[in-house]
Homo-oligomer: A and B are copies of this chain.
Amino acid sequence: MSENNANQEPSETVLFDSAALKLDCGVTLDTLELAYRTYGTLNDDKTNAILICHALTGDQYPAGENPLTGKPGWWTQIVGPGRIIDTDKYFVICSNVLGGCGGSTGPQSDNPDGSGPYGLNFPVITIADMVRAQNLLIDHFGIESLFCVIGGSMGGMQVLEWAAAHGERVFSAVPIATSARHSSQNIAFHEVGRQAILADPEWHSGAYYAQKAHPRKGLAVARMAAHITYLSEAALQRKFGRNLQDRESITYGFDADFQIESYLRHQGMSFVERFDANSYLYITRAMDYFDIAAENGGNLAAAFTNSATRFCVMSFTSDWLFPTAESVNLVRALNAAGANVSFVEIESDKGHDAFLLDEPEMHATLNGFLKSAAKARGLTNDAGGDDD
Contacts and interface: CB of A to CB of B under 8 A. Distances in A.
Interface stretch (A33-41, A196-204, A331-339, A375-383): A196-204
A305 interface: no
Contacts of A242: 181-184, 187, 291, 294
A76 B269 CA distance: 44
A291 B241 CA distance: 12
Interface in A181-195: 181-185, 187-189, 191-192, 194-195
Q: Which 10 A-B pairs have the closest CB atoms?
A: A199-B217, A25-B252, A124-B252, A184-B236, A185-B233, A191-B261, A184-B240, A192-B224, A192-B225, A185-B236
A228 B261 contact: no
A258 B288 CA distance: 9
A194 B294 CA distance: 38
Interface in A351-385: none
Given A225-B225, A289-B250, A237 B192 contact: no
Interface string A255-273: 0111011001100100000
25 contacts: A124-B254, A183-B237, A184-B237, A184-B260, A185-B237, A187-B242, A187-B260, A191-B224, A191-B260, A191-B261, A191-B265, A192-B225, A192-B264, A195-B217, A195-B224, A195-B268, A196-B199, A196-B221, A199-B199, A201-B201, A233-B320, A242-B291, A242-B294, A257-B288, A258-B288
A225 B264 CA distance: 15
A183 B236 contact: yes
Interface in A281-301: 281, 285, 288-289, 291, 294
A81 interface: no
Contacts of A12: none
A24 interface: yes
B199 A236 contact: no
A101 interface: no
Given A181-B242, A184-B240, A196-B196, 9 more contacts: A182-B242, A188-B224, A188-B228, A189-B228, A191-B256, A191-B258, A191-B265, A192-B221, A254-B285
A72 interface: no
A241 B188 contact: no
- Kindly report how many copies of this chain are found in the complex they form together: 2
A117 interface: no
Given A195-B224, A265-B195, A188 B250 contact: no
A123 interface: yes
A218 interface: yes
A346 interface: no
Nearest to A215: B199
Contacts of A187: 242, 258, 260-261
Contacts of A258: 184, 187, 191, 288
A187 B221 CA distance: 14
Interface string A212-235: 000001101100110010010100
Contact of A254 (B183, B253, B281, B294): B281
Nearest to A294: B242
Contacts of A10: none
Interface centre among A191, A201, A233 (most CB of B within 10 A): A191
A201 B26 CA distance: 38
Interface in A158-198: 181-185, 187-189, 191-192, 194-196, 198
Interface string A9-44: 000000000000000111000000000000000000
